[in-house]
Amino acid sequence: MKTIDNFNFSGKKALIRVDFNVPLNADFNVTDTTRIEAAKPTIIKVLEDGGSAVLMSHLGRPKGQVNPDMSMTHIVNTVSEILGVKVKFVEDCVGQKAEEALANLKSGEILLLENLRFHAEEEKGDKDFAAQLSKLGDIYINDAFGTAHRAHASTAIIAQFFDDNKCFGYLMAKEIEAIDKVLQSGEKPITAILGGAKVSSKITIIENILDKVDHLIIGGGMTYTFVKAQGGKIGDSICEDDKQELALNILAEAKKKGVEVHIPVDVIAADDFSNTANTQTVDVDKIPDGWQGLDAGPLTLENFKKVIYQSKTILWNGPVGVFEMENFSKGTIAIGNFIDEATKNGAFSLVGGGDSVAAVKQFGFEDKVSYVSTGGGAMLESLEGKKLPGIAAILD
């Protein structure tokens, strides 16, 4: 795997695809700087070598139209603050203006291009557009794992214009290594904790990882499809009735492959989907009518704890309860604590996928696990075993 460490950037202009698709508030201030901070080590390495950095990213979904609300101008000051270098800006990402700004860029300087998606050609993966972008650097670095699953001009098509002068940035390399540890080289026993509402959204992940894991913990809303499929009473709990047969097939397949599946045995049930609802702890297969399971129960957490403590490699994707409501967040917090403890004892732990990353941040587990993926959809597609265009383009 060719990374940024394979290059010296002295006197070179590095064209870096970053993922600065950050949230902005009504005043156009950045409300979460995680993605900018994640790209910092790659950018600083280029500058310290004596090179200059040209940064390209998208912001929002302007659908190929120039939209001032989604201009990169809104983030220039924040990027400058985080990198500790005054960032220059040019109001296009291709063409004369961009090429003039590049010609004036000196070693140690950073240039941020305007939003790539102001051009419809970006999302279409247009080769001519990629060729124009490629004029803006001597070496191409892809450090945008969050967009690696998209075959866009700046992530997958552009690499062909750089022959051997292309590589992964530090963030991208870390993401690839973390996923590889879970799917290929992880120390056993390997445990996958899959939560969230729907079996349907996790089915391809489950199918891909059954050959790799020793334990599969099922939590969250998915639980009730599995429980109902096995004849349990789930009250008014969320359930995908059309996926019951699929749930039974997963259990049969897991048994065939020697994978132990752990499903909740008890739950915190509520008489309403609300933080102020009445609650009771009940067996997962005996939830009364009018009640719904909203969090993992104490016996379930005890069972999960035993499995997690003996694991050497842990993947966590999805909460085990409605963590957004304080009264139903205890199960997800407990899972975080168990993984924290296992990690302290030498396990490798990877957290990925929107809701679990949100939970990890909300409850302060970011520094207590081995790695938190920034990738969202890209991370999930990797776990499904798909070849990501942004990664394949560098490896080809």
Q: Annotated binding residues, as ranges?
A: 19-21, 35, 58-61, 117, 150, 202, 293, 324, 353-356
3-state secondary structure of 287: strand
Catalytic residue of the set 354, 361, 376, 385: 354
Active site residue 354: yes
Quickly tell me which residue has 């969250």 as its tokens: 220
Is residue 132 within 8 Å of 109, Cβ to Cβ?
no
Is residue 293 within 8 Å of 284, Cβ to Cβ?
yes
Q: Which amino acid is at 78?
A: T
3-state secondary structure of 290: coil
Is residue 71 within 8 Å of 89, Cβ to Cβ?
no
Say how far apart CA 268 and CA 200 lie, in whole Å: 23
The number of angstroms, rounded, from the C-alpha of 322 to the middle of its chain's C-alpha atoms is: 20
Query: Residues within the annotated binding site for (2R)-3-phosphoglycerate?
Result: 35, 117, 150
Query: Residues within the annotated binding site for ATP?
Result: 202, 293, 324, 353-356
Query: Residues within the annotated binding site for substrate?
Result: 19-21, 35, 58-61, 117, 150
Is residue 235 within 8 Å of 287, Cβ to Cβ?
yes
Say how far apart CA 312 and CA 363 lie, in whole Å: 23
Cβ neighbourhood burial of 65 (10 Å; 0-12, 13-18, 19+): exposed
Catalytic residue of the set 127, 198, 305, 312: 198
Active site residue 35: yes
Active site residue 297: no
**Spatial CA neighbour of 175 closest among 218, 144, 208, 200:** 144
Quickly tell me which residue has 């950095």 as its tokens: 53
Is residue 97 within 8 Å of 91, Cβ to Cβ?
yes
- The DSSP string of 106-123 is PTT-EEEEP-GGGSHHHH
Catalytic residue of the set 35, 174, 181, 228: 35
Active site residue 344: no
CB atoms within 10 A of CB 103: 8
Residue 191, C-beta contacts closer than 8 angstroms, at least 6 positions apart: 213, 214, 215, 216, 217, 307, 308, 311, 313, 314, 315
Eight-class DSSP state of 74: G
Provide the β-strand partners of residue 112. Answer: 55, 89
Say how far apart CA 352 and CA 377 lie, in whole Å: 9
Say how far apart CA 201 and CA 377 lie, in whole Å: 11
Which residues are identified as catalytic? 35, 198, 354, 377
